[in-house]
Amino acid sequence: MLARWDVMLALFVGSIGGVMIGAIPGVGPAVAIAILLPATFSLDPIVGLTMLLGIYGSSMYGGAIPAVLINTPGTAVNALTSYDGYPMTQRGEAHRAVSLAYSASFWGGIFGILCLILLSPLLALIAPMFGSREIFLAALLGIILVILAHRGQIFAAGMLAMFGIFLQTVGLDAVTYTQRYTFGFSFLSSGINLIVVVLGLFALSQAFFLLTGPDTSPDAKPVTGRMSAGIKELMGHKRVASVAAGFGVILGMIPGTGEFTAQFMSYTYAQKTSETPEAFGKGAPEGLVASEAANNAVPAAAMIPLLALGIPGEALTAMMLSVFYVHNVIPGPQLFQNNIDLVYGLYFALIALNVIVFVFLLFSTNLMTRIIRVPTRFLGVMILLLSFVGVYSLRNSLTDCMIAAGFGVLGLILKRLNLPIVPIILGMVLGGIMEVKLRSALPRLKTPWDMIDRPIAFILFVMILLVLLLHLRTLFKEIRAPHEGADHDLHDSQQR
Amino acid sequence: MSRVKTLQSLFKRYRRPGDIVFAWVALLVSLYLLSQIMDQTSWRNGDKLFAQPRFWPAVSLVGMVCFAALHLLGSALSERIHGRWQEVGLWLAAFEFAGWFIAYAVAVPYAGYLPSTIICAILLCWRMDYRSRKVLGAAALAALIIVVLFKSFLQVKLPSGLVYEVLPDGLRQFMLTYF
């Protein structure tokens, strides 16, 4: 499947493009995938899929470069990389930090894919056990985790997730053929398109964010030295790299947690088990390894619930779900039974993109340092122009452009307030799944208990209860021993 | 008094300027949408509650109202950071760029994708206080690359401009297909 020139070209363009996009602070993979998604409609499904997969899997490699060199993460998930990467640059070890970040990323990426491949037979076995009610419960668990994962912003995340669920109900109900919240406007009858919302919230909002902000042009100095030196040094941090990648795989599989939690847990582990914990945050190589290995293991792991159940765990996999749907590939239990060739094709595409990116970065770091210097407002102009391609090419509709512009302003407000955007997208995707699956499960349910009378459904139900109880326990602990209110944002919730 | 303190510590969080304005607007919009549920959705006799077309809008809007109210409460109980109306002014400033985007979308079917993109790139760069020929030239070049990549190479479905109709036969067909 991959041995086609157009697929290889798409993978190559996607991988290299993803690194460049990741390296530019203020763009990020979400913006790039949102813009390019409609542009791939005219391509062969496997070509479009591999190109966007390339961007998804490679952007974090690029994001490490500005994190290390100018203390500005290229993507939000490279935030912890800057903690130790930038101090290393300050003491003249930029080359060491960058090469170590590449090696750790490569290790994390390959580790994640190997886990995905090894888990495949198990997934193929379990996936068919997921019927409508199991998928409904898994989606419900996903929504709950997405809300609870936004610690310190749970009410806002809940409100925005509910807003997302509401958005997917707007339009003509496909089962009962009744209008819902169209207010008499014919353009709302077909519903609010997920891609239009994604483009507004991620791409246009970023353009508005950059255009309304001050103009800056980061100054990244060129890096000299052999980039392959990091491979040798990584061998000295095998334990940290492996545990961090393990965290990335486990947390990547759980909807709503993803790279942030994986990074923080692996960083904390690395610090606690280090012989020099006081060096963390001041340029500890182990901290850098923990952060990069963890966040690069996540993309492959996040594909597990997406491919096996059709349930995305975060914004990028939600977009990848749209990519699959657009190209007539329906992720879910049947995928492993009917289309296993495609699944293995995607695994090998993931391996290939990691190799391409790693080799590319060994020779092109200084090209990346030039890309980083693009002035932010100029970047905003370009994102605005590119967003038009994404929105208008969907249906050549001016109304779509207006809706996207509206969501762009909403996205800007959320970014300025540091409120999360992701719950809206996941609310739309998971809300749609929940509605459809609950309806199709209903004819077989005589009593509410029938919902959980199968083993997987029961396990999912217990997991939902456990998650809620654990959260309540944490809440009560906080009430009993209240710490002084946080005087800073708990985390940067934006998908840059 | 201790109960008030407990309530405060439970809801207190870091908030940025303008948070309470957003919280109020979110609550009012949620309440308005919920108030319209009888008009904007229907109820089908004989169907189960979970299968009603009204069920999911109701669940999501009740959830929105509850979470929005709690978010507002949290905002009201947290320490205020000055600069609220400046921040709201910045949000409103974003509408200018939303206007640019819509104007660009309106222009393309008439003026053509290539001319509209180049003009929009240069004008918007000018509006952003870029005056050097180097930057304006880079904007025009970037616009050209965008058009060639998406319209000429990827053949993305974008309208051809009415303005191309006045071109000579051979050139018109070429422009309509590739730019």
- List the end-to-end C-alpha distance of chain B, in Å, as a whole number: 70
For testing contact with chain A, the best of B7, B9, B56, B135 (most A CBs within 10 A): B56
Q: Does residue B63 lie in a domain region?
A: yes
Residues B105, B160: one domain? yes
> By the CB < 8 Å criterion, does A470 face chain B?
no
Give the count of domains, chain A: 2
Look-up: residue for tokens 């580790």? A111
For testing contact with chain B, the best of A9, A147, A163, A434 (most B CBs within 10 A): A163
Distance in Å, alpha carbon of A255 to nearest chain B alpha carbon: 20
> By the CB < 8 Å criterion, does A443 face chain B?
no
Distance CA A150, CA A260 (A): 10
- DSSP 8-state class, residue A418: T
* Contact call for A178 and B44, based on CB within 8 A: yes
Q: Does residue B88 lie in a domain region?
A: no
| Run of H or E including B44 | none
CA separation (Å) from A472 to A162, A210, A270, A283, A475? 20, 39, 29, 37, 5
> By the CB < 8 Å criterion, does A143 face chain B?
no
* Contact call for A165 and B59, based on CB within 8 A: yes
Distance in Å, alpha carbon of B71 to nearest chain A alpha carbon: 5
Q: Which among A345, A264, A266, A265 is positioned nearest to A303, based on CA atoms?
A: A345
CB A317 within 8 A of CB A306: yes
Give the count of domains, chain B: 2
Residues A468, A384: one domain? no
Residues A386, A455: one domain? no
pLDDT for position A164: 95
pLDDT for position B51: 82
Residues B131, B169: one domain? yes
Residues A138, A240: one domain? yes
Distance in Å, alpha carbon of B170 to nearest chain A alpha carbon: 26
Rama region for A218: left / alpha / beta (φ>0; ψ in -120 to 50; rest): beta
Q: Does residue A445 lie in a domain region?
A: no
Nearest Cβ partner for B53 among A176, A378, A427:
A176
Residues in B closer than 8 angstroms to A482, CB to CB, are 6, 9-10
B38-48: per-residue pLDDT in tens?
Answer: 999 988 888 78
Q: Does residue B87 lie in a domain region?
A: no
Residues A135, A232: one domain? yes
For testing contact with chain A, the best of B12, B71, B113 (most A CBs within 10 A): B71
Residues B99, B169: one domain? yes
Residues A114, A208: one domain? yes
Q: Which among A114, A8, A126, A14 is positioned nearest to A61, based on CA atoms?
A: A14
Residues A266, A128: one domain? yes
Residues in A closer than 8 angstroms to B36, CB to CB, are 181, 183
Residues B31, B54: one domain? yes
Pairing mode, if any, of strands A179-180 and A171-172? antiparallel
Residues A229, A349: one domain? yes
Among chain B residues, CA nearest to A414 = B22
Residues B56, B129: one domain? no
Q: Does residue B136 lie in a domain region?
A: yes
Distance in Å, alpha carbon of A87 to nearest chain B alpha carbon: 28
Residues A475, A371: one domain? no
Q: Does residue A111 lie in a domain region?
A: yes
Helices assigned H by DSSP within A313-454: 315-326, 333-338, 340-371, 376-395, 398-416, 422-441
Q: Which among A199, A191, A201, A195 is positioned nearest to A169, based on CA atoms?
A: A191
Residues in A closer than 8 angstroms to B104, CB to CB, are 384-385, 388
CB A69 within 8 A of CB A98: yes
Residues in A closer than 8 angstroms to B154, CB to CB, are 39, 42-43
Residues A207, A76: one domain? yes
Distance in Å, alpha carbon of B163 to nearest chain A alpha carbon: 18
Q: Does residue A153 lie in a domain region?
A: no
Q: Does residue B105 lie in a domain region?
A: yes
Among chain B residues, CA nearest to A401 = B102
What is the interface size between A and B, counted as CB pairs within 8 Å?
216
Question: With DSSP H G I counted as helix, E B as strand and the rest as coil, what are the percentages for chain B, rounded to 5?
Answer: 75, 0, 25
pLDDT for position A490: 46
Instruction: Report the greatest alpha carbon distance in chain B.
Output: 83
From B12, B47, B82, the end of a domain falls on B82
Q: Does residue B89 lie in a domain region?
A: no
Q: What is the ipTM of this complex?
A: 0.91
Structural domain boundaries enclosing A467: 450-480
* Contact call for A38 and B156, based on CB within 8 A: yes
* Contact call for B13 and A435, based on CB within 8 A: no
From B47, B82, B117, the end of a domain falls on B82
Residues in B closer than 8 angstroms to A447, CB to CB, are none
Distance, C-alpha A254 to centroid of its chain: 12
CB A330 within 8 A of CB A322: no
DSSP A229-255: HHHHHHGGGHHHHHHHHHHHHHHHHST
Q: Does residue A486 lie in a domain region?
A: no
Strand partners, A179: A172
From A381, A396, A411, the end of a domain falls on A396
pTM comes to 0.84
Distance CA A346, CA A354 (A): 12
Residues B78, B98: one domain? no
Chain A segment 186-205 residues within 8 A of B by beta carbon are 204
Read off the amino acid at residue A425.
Answer: I
* Contact call for A156 and B67, based on CB within 8 A: yes
Residues in B closer than 8 angstroms to A380, CB to CB, are 128
Q: Does residue A490 lie in a domain region?
A: no
Residues B98, B173: one domain? yes
Structural domain boundaries enclosing B56: 2-82
Neighbours of B123 (CB within 10 A): 16
B109-163: per-residue pLDDT in tens?
Answer: 999 999 999 999 999 999 999 999 999 999 999 999 999 988 888 778 888 888 8
Q: Does residue A101 lie in a domain region?
A: yes
Residue B102 scores a pLDDT above 90 = yes
Helices assigned H by DSSP within A91-131: 94-126
Residues B101, B170: one domain? yes
Residues B140, B77: one domain? no
CB A88 within 8 A of CB A47: no
φ and ψ at residue A153, rounded to 5 degrees: -135, 30
* Contact call for A442 and B101, based on CB within 8 A: no
Neighbours of A118 (CB within 10 A): 9
Residues B128, B166: one domain? yes
Q: Does residue B55 lie in a domain region?
A: yes
State chain B's mean pLDDT as an integer.
88
Q: Does residue A242 lie in a domain region?
A: yes
Among chain A residues, CA nearest to B156 = A39
pLDDT for position A242: 92
Residues B41, B13: one domain? yes
Residues A392, A454: one domain? no
From B28, B60, B82, the end of a domain falls on B82
Distance in Å, alpha carbon of A337 to nearest chain B alpha carbon: 30
Distance in Å, alpha carbon of B168 to nearest chain A alpha carbon: 26
CB A331 within 8 A of CB A94: no
Torsion of CA B76, B78, B83, B85, to 10 degrees: -20
Residues B70, B100: one domain? no
Distance in Å, alpha carbon of A231 to nearest chain B alpha carbon: 37
pLDDT for position A487: 46
Residues A47, A109: one domain? yes
CB A49 within 8 A of CB A323: yes
Among chain A residues, CA nearest to B45 = A176
Residues A390, A456: one domain? no
* Contact call for B67 and A486, based on CB within 8 A: no
Neighbours of A216 (CB within 10 A): 13
Distance CA B118, CA B131 (A): 16
Nearest Cβ partner for B105 among A152, A381, A401:
A401
Residue B106 scores a pLDDT above 90 = yes
Distance CA A42, CA A33 (A): 15
The tens place of each residue's pLDDT in chain A, 496 residues long, gives 667 888 888 888 888 888 888 887 767 777 888 888 777 777 777 788 888 888 888 888 888 888 888 777 777 677 788 888 888 888 888 888 888 888 999 999 899 889 888 887 787 778 778 888 888 898 898 889 888 878 778 899 999 999 999 999 999 887 888 899 999 898 899 889 888 898 899 889 989 999 998 888 777 777 777 777 778 888 888 899 999 999 888 888 876 666 677 787 888 888 888 888 888 888 888 988 998 898 888 888 888 888 888 888 777 788 778 778 777 778 877 787 777 788 888 888 888 888 998 888 888 877 777 777 788 899 899 989 988 988 888 888 899 999 999 999 999 999 999 898 888 988 998 898 899 888 888 888 888 888 888 888 999 899 999 989 998 888 888 777 655 544 444 444 444 3
Q: Does residue A425 lie in a domain region?
A: no
